[in-house]
Amino acid sequence: MPRRSTEEWIRLSLRTPGILIFGMVMAPCGWVLDLTATVAPNWRTLNNLPNSPSDEFLQQGIWDICRTTTSSTRSECNQQDTEYFAQEIIPVAQGLMVASLIVTLIGLAVAIPGVRCWTDRPNWTVAGLGGLLIFLSGVMTIIPIAWYTHILTEIPSGSSLADVQVGYCIILGYIGGIFEVLGGFVMFIGIWRCCGGKNRGERRVEEVMGQFNHQKPPPRRVDVPSLNRARSSASSSVPYSKDSLDEDVSFPRAKSPAARSVNTSYSGRPYDADL
């Protein structure tokens, strides 16, 4: 039998490695958050608008602007603001956010065949490439989100008196981008075997074979005393004799009554009492 090299590895189980499960869970969650941040018109909020009621405010996104009030759930969207949409960040954010959504879907489509758990071992190269695409999609989400947040107050708002606040799309975009970056990075490191193969759920063949070849110490022998009594010399099926019973008794036995003698030769005449 040829000697195995030290570079041969073996899977401990047929379950999908944890790093692949982590990436396949984080990536869809991040994609949903990025989709919400892309289509929702709330990258920033403008309060205290001039010539407007005090409860009215504007919600500005990268695709639309909506006017709403705190006392009503209805919003008037498709508000025109040429100066706002003329800012350089708006077309860049539109392109990167849409590209991020598409790249995430491509990354998932590539990673799924490599992560399949019905084979002995995953295709680490394919799964790693899918993780790389997911990682890049997260970066493409964080870039416009961070840029927009950096110049949040510098983007024209129509009035210097307006109160500018961060919208919920910025928060969702950050969380979604971080999810994709972490999930994609963890899947990508599966291309390299590190941490002694634990990242892949593997161990060296020699290490596993060494555990099987290790002999366990023999079990300790325990002597149990025999409980069988010595049989009598007589060939009897009873394992004790009458004498042994008499010896074991520590109190006097009652004597058995003597047997009465019956005179069968009596031929006298019976009396009335006998009847």
pLDDT (tens digit, 0 to 9) for every residue of the chain, 275 residues total? Answer: 344 444 576 555 556 777 888 889 999 999 999 999 999 988 998 887 777 777 788 888 899 888 888 777 777 888 888 888 888 999 999 999 999 999 999 999 998 888 875 566 778 888 889 999 999 999 999 999 999 999 888 888 766 667 888 889 999 999 999 999 999 998 888 776 655 555 565 655 555 555 555 555 566 776 666 666 555 554 555 555 555 555 555 555 556 665 555 555 555 565 555 55
| Alpha helices by DSSP H, 190-263 | 205-213, 242-248
Per-residue pLDDT at 219 = 67
Q: Which of helix, strand or coil describes residue 184? A: helix
A 10 A CB-CB count for 203 gives: 16
Kind plus residue range of the DSSP H or E element containing 47: strand 44-47
Per-residue pLDDT at 25 = 92
Kind plus residue range of the DSSP H or E element containing 69: strand 65-69
Long-range contacts of 125-128 (CB under 8 A, 24+ apart): 125/191, 127/20, 127/187, 127/190, 128/187, 128/188, 128/189, 128/190, 128/191
Between CA 41 and CA 90 the distance in angstroms is 12
Residue type present at position 204: R
**Residue 154 in contact with residue 89, Cβ under 8 Å?**
no
Strand ranges in 151-263 using DSSP code E only, listed in sequence order = 163-166, 202-204
Per-residue pLDDT at 134 = 95
Strand ranges in 175-267 using DSSP code E only, listed in sequence order = 202-204
Between CA 62 and CA 55 the distance in angstroms is 23
Q: Domains of the chain by range and CATH?
A: 13-206 (1.20.140.150)
Residue 251 makes CB contacts below 8 A (sequence gap 6+) with none
Per-residue pLDDT at 1 = 39
Largest separation between any pair of C-alpha atoms in the chain = 153
Per-residue pLDDT at 65 = 86
**Residue 61 in contact with residue 29, Cβ under 8 Å?**
no
A 10 A CB-CB count for 117 gives: 11
Per-residue pLDDT at 2 = 43
A 10 A CB-CB count for 11 gives: 15
Per-residue pLDDT at 70 = 78
